[in-house]
Every structure is written in C-alpha cells, then in structure tokens.
Amino acid sequence: MLKKTVSQLQPYVPETPLPELEEKLGLAKVVRLSANENPFGTSPKVQQALQNWDFSNSRYYPDGDASALRQAVAEYINVAPERLLFGNGLDEVIELVSRTFLENTDEVLELGPTFSEYKLHAQIEAAVVRDVSVQTDGIADLTALAAAITPQTKLIWLCNPNNPTGTAVTCAAIAEFMAQVPENVLVLIDEAYMDFVDDLTTYTALPLLTQYANLMVLRTFSKAYGLANFRVGYAVMPPKLAPSLQSVRLPYNLGAVAQLAAKTALADQDFLQTTVTRVQKARQQWEEFLQQNGFTFYRSQANFTFFKAPQALALADDLLHHGFIVRTGLRPDWLRITFGTAEQNAKLQQLILAFYQQ
Ligand SMILES: *Cc1c(COP(=O)(O)O)cnc(C)c1O
C-alpha cells in the first residue's frame, strides 16, 4: 500500500518539549543548545505586534500571497517581490523544491555531512542522492562537487554556512563553481545561518542571482530572528521557475500571525544586530576554549560549533543531567553545540572540562 520510497523511512525524532524533559530529569531548568535556536529570544516588537493583532481575523484564511511580508523581504534583500517563495519554515521550501523537480532516476548532489532534509525529501521522490565529502578541515570541496555532476544530476544542495560543520564558502568560490554547472541543473544555496557570518558580502550568494537562472537562495526566520515557533522561511526563485513552484505550494501555507511575526522581526534590525554581535563574540570565545584545550574543531561561521569530543555520548549525557542538551549523532564522537548566553557558555565549558578530568 505504501509508496515504495516511504516504506523504509523512520519518523524524525523532534526535540522533547522542555517542560517534559525538566520533569523527567528533575531539573528546574534545562537549556536547549541542540537546535540552533536563539538564546537571546525574539524581538520584543514581535510580542507587541501579536498582542495588537485583530483576533476577529481568526475565521478568515490568511493572505495566500503573504503580500506585506513579501514586500518587506523583497526590499530587504533587493529582489523583485514575485521571485520570493514563502514556506511554513524553510523545511517546507525544501520539501516543495524536491516535490516540484524530482522524479525517479534523477540525481541529487549534496556535501556531506549536511542538513538531513535534503536527502529525506529526495528519497521520498525516488531520486538518488550522492554525497560528496567535505574536506578534512570541514570546508566544502566545490571542485569535487562540480566533478560529481552527471547527465542525471537535477539538483545540487549547498548549505552555507553548513549545518553541522559550521564552515562557509565564499561567494567568489560559489561563482567559480556555478560557471561549471550546466544550465539544466538547479543549485540551491541554503543560507539559514548566513546572518551570523563575519562578513556578509564575502559569503552570501545573493549577488549571483542576477547572473544565473539556475540558482536559488534560501533563508529562514527560525535562527537569527528567533522565530522558530512561527515557521517562516523563503527562497529567491529564478523568474522562469516561479510560477511552477507557486503552483505546487499549498495556497494558505503561512498563517497571518506567522506573516506578521516575520515582518515585524525583519523590521527590528537592531535586535538582529545585537543577536549577531553576541553570537560572533561567543563563537570567538568558544573557539579559543576549544583551541586552548586541544579539541579538534571546524572554523564556524554559524551560531554553533562542531567539534570532536571523545566519549561524545557519555559527555552529552553528563551535560544533560546538568541541564544542557547538545546535539549528538551527526558524526561518531563529534558534538554540535549551539552558542548560548555568555553565562551558559561558561557553565557548559566548565562542565566539559570537569567531565574529562574525572
Ligand atoms: C534550521 C535549518 C533549516 C530549517 O529551518 P526552518 O525554517 O525552521 O524550517 C533549514 N536549513 C538548515 C541548514 C537549518 O539548519
């Protein structure tokens, strides 16, 4: 009865709700540093806007074009509004892209390890996924990626900065890569963490959108804007592909409250900048800590670090019982930790050292 590609799938294990976990562990507070959420919260202006939202709108379907949000994002990144595609989280955009382009025997390329959703949705559409490994320093090997393209290749996912390695490639390197990609292959740059890089103009692929009709850039409000609960992500589409992608999208995929939250968050660039500055400071401090204590780690441009931690599972369990959730299971004996507040980072680092000194 099941579609063949679905019969072997296991459900994604989502994060356990914090109150449930706190009760189970008997802890007053558990800090989640496993999902790259914003430890500094959300712009207070969003809370205000939501309180002022006219509840009598509840019975109406939301604006299916997300017009106000569309206009605001279009101005923010300087693209034509009709090139934007909004999703219920970037997750939905990834699903939608896979659903629109992939069919049996198509091939998808990605640089592993990377975000698991690209592979999941390609597999559901019966496409073949090929992983090209990152270099030993964690940096994307774009030469190897270009060399892996075959006549069957349809989509290429490039997460920049990459989750879970945290490393980033420059826009110049991506331009060089694009020059080697045939026009009938679509390249998707997932910029979920782009807000956190040291220098935006060095890394973002947005300027290449005017040059390449086979390039899409994807962003989300879940990370730097602290809006993960509202599920808003978007992509900048090639103009020719826009109508087809819009046809596949569900007509009312974004609720009015989510649209309002995202638009208000985007308008509060002071909050964003404060978050980014704090994350950049934490990143520098974490890398000094890892360096000084002899850990192997990748150079991050994101809001998390990926490092080699001997006995990673035992360490993660120890941290959990001290009230910190970190991400395991991405690579044996490596952990991914989202940067927390300065106080959380100090406590966590102290616990890590204590674990190895036992
Ligand atoms: C978190 C994340 C997303 C998904 O973001 P949502 O908008 O919350 O669905 C997409 N891509 C990467 C690489 C991520 O880490």
- Which of 73, 90, 110 for mutating ligand 1's site (highest number of atoms within 8 Å of CB)? 90
Mean pLDDT of 43-52: 98
The model's pLDDT over 106-134, given as tens digits with 9 standing for 90+, comes to: 999 999 999 999 999 999 999 999 999 98
Amino acid at 11: P
Which class does domain 12-36+270-356 fall in? alpha beta
pLDDT value of residue 23: 95
The residue whose two tokens read 């430890």 is 39
For the chain, the domains span 12-36+270-356, 52-267
Contact of 262 with 227, CB cutoff 8 Å: yes
What atom of ligand 1 comes closest to residue 114's alpha carbon? 13
The model's pLDDT over 146-202, given as tens digits with 9 standing for 90+, comes to: 999 999 999 999 999 999 999 999 999 999 999 999 999 999 999 999 999 999 999
Residue whose CA is closest, atom 2 of ligand 1?
192
Contact of 162 with 140, CB cutoff 8 Å: yes
Give the residues across from 85 on adjacent strands: 235
Rounded Cα distance between 172 and 183, Å, is 19
The model's pLDDT over 204-261, given as tens digits with 9 standing for 90+, comes to: 999 999 999 999 999 999 999 999 999 999 999 999 999 999 999 999 999 999 999 9
Question: Is the CB of residue 88 below 6 angstroms from any atom belonging to ligand 1?
Answer: no
Rounded Cα distance between 137 and 165, Å, is 9
- Which of 94, 220, 234 for mutating ligand 1's site (highest number of atoms within 8 Å of CB)? 220
Question: Is the CB of residue 162 below 6 angstroms from any atom belonging to ligand 1?
Answer: no
The rounded Å distance from CA 232 to ligand 1 centre is 10
> If pLDDT is split at 50, 70 and 90, which confidence band does 142 have?
very high
The model's pLDDT over 68-103, given as tens digits with 9 standing for 90+, comes to: 999 999 999 999 999 999 999 999 999 999 999 999
Residue whose CA is closest, atom 11 of ligand 1?
192
The model's pLDDT over 255-297, given as tens digits with 9 standing for 90+, comes to: 999 999 999 999 999 999 999 999 999 999 999 999 999 999 9
Which class does domain 52-267 fall in? alpha beta
What atom of ligand 1 comes closest to residue 222's alpha carbon? 8
Topology alike, domains 12-36+270-356 and 52-267: no
